[in-house]
Amino acid sequence: MEDKCGVIGVKLNSGHAAFPTYYGLYALQHRGQESAGIVSFDGFKQHTKKGLGLIGEVFKEDDLKQLTGPSAIGHVRYPTYGSINKKTVHPFNVNTRQGFLALGHNGNITNAESLRKDLEKVGHVFTTDTDTEVLVHELARNLIKADLVQAIKQTIERTQGAYSTTLIYNGKVVGFRDPRGIRPLCIGELDDGYMVASESVALDVVGGKFLRDVKPGELVILEETGLESRRITEKTPAHCFFEYIYFARPDSNIEGRSVYKVRRKLGELLYDNHGVATDLVSPVPDSGRAFAAGYAEAGNIEYIESMMKNRYVGRTFIMPSQETRERAVRLKLNPIEPNIKGKKIMIIDDSIVRGTTSKQLIDSLRDNGAEEVHVRIGAPPITSPCNLGVNMASEEELMASKKSVSEIKNAIGADSLEYLSLEEISEALDIPKNNLCTGCVTGNYPIK
């Protein structure tokens, strides 16, 4: 299973594309902390540096100096429990008879197994069980008989699932997005070239100018002379709504929308349609902040931090056992007692997955003297796993897969609990429901 990741591609007229790629990857670190990699091309040779860990741990200054050339792609990968393996670090390279090809993607290819079997029959040998390796081999096979654009077209036609991809082929840098545009991908202009990236924040950090999102089913070649674009195929879009709710950085713009503003608007809807009288409203840091700010403004209620986040504790979400996850939430979020004692508190978070965070938080707010603890969630209940690029939890682990809202309220110990509906999400995004991927909250996926 592949996971939420971040991708970048850079083409400069001259100089070192690895540098803007590296800084861009830093801006996308939230999309993947397990591993990072950059591949560059100097006109003759491809250079690669990949490793496990955060960007600051993987790349030293000397590594960047050796990643020479005006073309580069980069990738950060999201952690999954139990899958840390050096061989699976993107980008994936293959040397074809036609040249050097390297590729990294964000998403999940749902027909990877059958593509792999076809490729094995004609002699392709795989070193990992990842869908990315299948994608790179499929493209390499198509490149034997076709030019790059045709080969990508054939690859897109045969590949199902979610895949925002960047690749480098003999120095050409390309970005393409699956026909439904499930995961984000945007294009920007740099002083001396172009960049494609999962999120616009990658452009911001290198002083780039956001041009537009890559369209679903579109491929964009970054040329010295400009951008060459082909719309390979068009299907009903199915943008992942959870990018807006949780995954993307709030300072990113996706499909023409500020993620921060969307979250604030969702917070306003939480107050307007689901509000209740409390002394204050508090976010679950950091993911609940913009929602709580919107709620506070709509209800003219005091916004106050009732817990502090220890930013040096990593993600609690992927820890292997329930006990370690619970301990980690306590480590990560510590209550600020004077803001809590004797208060009726509204807590806002983006989502409840297993329920660990909410339960632990409510317990500790009550231990610190909270009189009432109400919870509002900026998304509908998550009932089904994501098979299109995000590591959620298994269906059995998802609290809402078996419990009703009132059972969840009791299980986490809240005085009241309400979620936003899909209709409210669609209203805040101003995107029709059928143009969103809502698999995790409806069980209906845009792809089999």
User: Looking at the annotation, which residues are catalytic?
Assistant: 5
Contact between residue 202 and residue 223 where contact means Cβ atoms under 8 Å apart? no
Min dist CB 294 to ligand AMP, Å, is 16
Residue 353 binds ligand AMP (CB under 6 A)? yes
Contacting ligand AMP (CB under 6 A), which of 352, 370, 431, 441? 352
Min dist CB 288 to ligand AMP, Å, is 7
- Tokens standing for residue 165: 């991809």
Min dist CB 265 to ligand AMP, Å, is 18
- As a whole number of angstroms, the distance between CA 72 and CA 49 comes to 11
Residue 141 binds ligand AMP (CB under 6 A)? no
Contacting ligand AMP (CB under 6 A), which of 284, 346, 417, 420? 284
**68 versus 164: smaller Cβ distance to ligand AMP:** 164
CA-nearest of 131, 93, 85 to 112 is 131
Sequential DSSP letters for 92-124: EEEEETTEEEEEEEEEEETTHHHHHHHHHHTT-
Residue 41 binds ligand AMP (CB under 6 A)? no
Residues forming a β-bridge with 196: 9, 187
Residue 411 binds ligand AMP (CB under 6 A)? no
Q: Which residues of 36-68 are buried (b: 16+ CB within 10 A; e: fewer)?
A: bbbbbbbeeebbbbbebebbeebbeeebbeebb
**81 versus 126: smaller Cβ distance to ligand AMP:** 81
- As a whole number of angstroms, the distance between CA 224 and CA 203 comes to 18
Residue 392 binds ligand AMP (CB under 6 A)? yes
Q: Looking up tokens 């494609």, which residue turns up?
A: 196
Residue 390 binds ligand AMP (CB under 6 A)? yes
Residue 355 binds ligand AMP (CB under 6 A)? yes
Residue 376 binds ligand AMP (CB under 6 A)? no
Contact between residue 407 and residue 20 where contact means Cβ atoms under 8 Å apart? no
Residue 351 binds ligand AMP (CB under 6 A)? yes
**168 versus 412: smaller Cβ distance to ligand AMP:** 412
- As a whole number of angstroms, the distance between CA 264 and CA 269 comes to 9
Residue 246 binds ligand AMP (CB under 6 A)? yes
- As a whole number of angstroms, the distance between CA 269 and CA 275 comes to 9
**140 versus 182: smaller Cβ distance to ligand AMP:** 182
Residue 194 binds ligand AMP (CB under 6 A)? no
Residue 350 binds ligand AMP (CB under 6 A)? yes
**72 versus 284: smaller Cβ distance to ligand AMP:** 284
Distance from chain centroid for Cα 274: 28
CA-nearest of 164, 153, 159 to 109 is 159
Contact between residue 264 and residue 294 where contact means Cβ atoms under 8 Å apart? yes
Residue 349 binds ligand AMP (CB under 6 A)? yes
- As a whole number of angstroms, the distance between CA 378 and CA 269 comes to 9
**55 versus 240: smaller Cβ distance to ligand AMP:** 240
Residue 291 binds ligand AMP (CB under 6 A)? no
Residue 248 binds ligand AMP (CB under 6 A)? no
Min dist CB 362 to ligand AMP, Å, is 12
Residue 287 binds ligand AMP (CB under 6 A)? yes
Stretch binding ligand AMP (CB under 6 A), from 97-105, 370-378, 389-397, 427-435: 389-397
Stretch binding ligand AMP (CB under 6 A), from 200-208, 229-237, 289-297, 385-393: 385-393
Q: Which residues of 394-428 are buried (b: 16+ CB within 10 A; e: fewer)?
A: eeeebbbbebeeeebbeebbbbbbbbbebebbbeb
Min dist CB 391 to ligand AMP, Å, is 6
Stretch binding ligand AMP (CB under 6 A), from 58-66, 115-123, 178-186, 348-356: 348-356
Residue 106 binds ligand AMP (CB under 6 A)? no
- CA torsion sign for 206, 207, 209, 212 is positive
- As a whole number of angstroms, the distance between CA 386 and CA 231 comes to 27
Conformation bin of residue 22: beta by default, left when phi > 0, alpha when psi is -120 to 50: alpha
Min dist CB 99 to ligand AMP, Å, is 37
Min dist CB 308 to ligand AMP, Å, is 15
Size of the site for ligand AMP (CB under 6 A): 18
For residue 1, CA distances in Å to 75, 81, 113, 393 come to 16, 11, 11, 12
- As a whole number of angstroms, the distance between CA 217 and CA 442 comes to 24
Residue 356 binds ligand AMP (CB under 6 A)? yes
Residue 34 binds ligand AMP (CB under 6 A)? no
Positions touching ligand AMP (CB under 6 A) are 246, 284, 287, 315, 317, 349-358, 390-392
